[in-house]
Amino acid sequence: MEQKSIDYMKLIYSFHEEMLRNDFTLVYEGEITHQITKAFTSLAENNMERMSEDTSIKKKVFHVMVECLQNLSKHSEENDLTKYGGGPAGNGIFIVGKLGETTNQQYHVITGNPIENEKMPELLALLEKINELDKEGLKEFYKRQMREGTLSEKGGAGLGLIDIARKTGEKLEYHFVPVDENNSFFLLRTKISRKQLD
């Protein structure tokens, strides 16, 4: 029992060291609610204030965080994690960090949530489409989805993901980790450059 306790403490310390190395300022796993979203954005805003971050960068990070959290909240609640030993529906992971060389640091917003495998092809097609488009193409795609997009049961028509790509000017990074024959875990990383974009 004592050995397990020591191993657990080592794991926590190792995770803490990894967070410091990568300048992760926020790591959360659990239920995503409106109150949690407000708390996270407030914490991130205060942290960037302390670092005297540029106002336009703060707005961009804030916007991406809200879109990612709303996306996480909407889509993770469609799944019941208890099916494979997790928590209740509505759970996910959310990480914010600042990575890269001092001269070229980027904010990273990382989310993860379960997804049913039957819904993966549609999401994958949307992500691939978004990453194919340039700034003008994303603008037109956003307008078209507003007019003609098929809303999911939770709404959206992929507008949040399109908007994130438009606001950041970066490609979306994603990965699907198989969980069982019916479910996968969807990981999404969004980068926000601290350099000014046009």
Q: What are phi and psi of 84, to 5 degrees?
A: -130, 40
pLDDT at 162: 94
pLDDT at 77: 47
**Angle, CA of 122, 179 and 152, to the nearest 5°:** 25
How is the chain split into domains, by residue range?
2-193
Give the mean pLDDT of 22-29.
80
CATH topology of domain 2-193: Heat Shock Protein 90 (3.30.565)
Task: Please state the pTM of the whole predicted model.
Answer: 0.77
Q: Which of 53-57, 128-132, 161-165, 186-190 has the lowest mean pLDDT?
A: 53-57
Give the 3-state secondary structure of the chain.
CHHHHHHHHHHHHHHHHHHHHCCEEEEEEEECCHHHHHHHHHHHHHHHHHCCCCHHHHHHHHHHHHHHHHHHHHHHCCCCHHHHCCCCCCEEEEEEEEECCHHHCEEEEEEEEEEEHHHHHHHHHHHHHHHHCCHHHHHHHHHHHHHHCCCCCCCCCCHHHHHHHHHHCCCCEEEEEECCCCEEEEEEEEEEECCCCC
pLDDT at 19 over 80: no
Give the mean pLDDT of 130-154.
83
pLDDT at 99: 75
pLDDT digits (tens, 9 = 90+) for 70-112: 877 776 545 554 444 444 445 788 888 887 665 567 888 999 9
pLDDT at 27: 83
Q: Which amino acid is at 82?
A: T
Give the mean pLDDT of 42-50.
82
Q: Which of 4-8, 78-82, 115-119 has the lowest mean pLDDT?
A: 78-82
pLDDT at 128: 96
Mean of pLDDT over the chain: 80
Is there a contact between 70 and 37 (Cβ–Cβ < 8 Å)? yes
**Angle, CA of 135, 159 and 132, to the nearest 5°:** 40
pLDDT at 16 over 60: yes
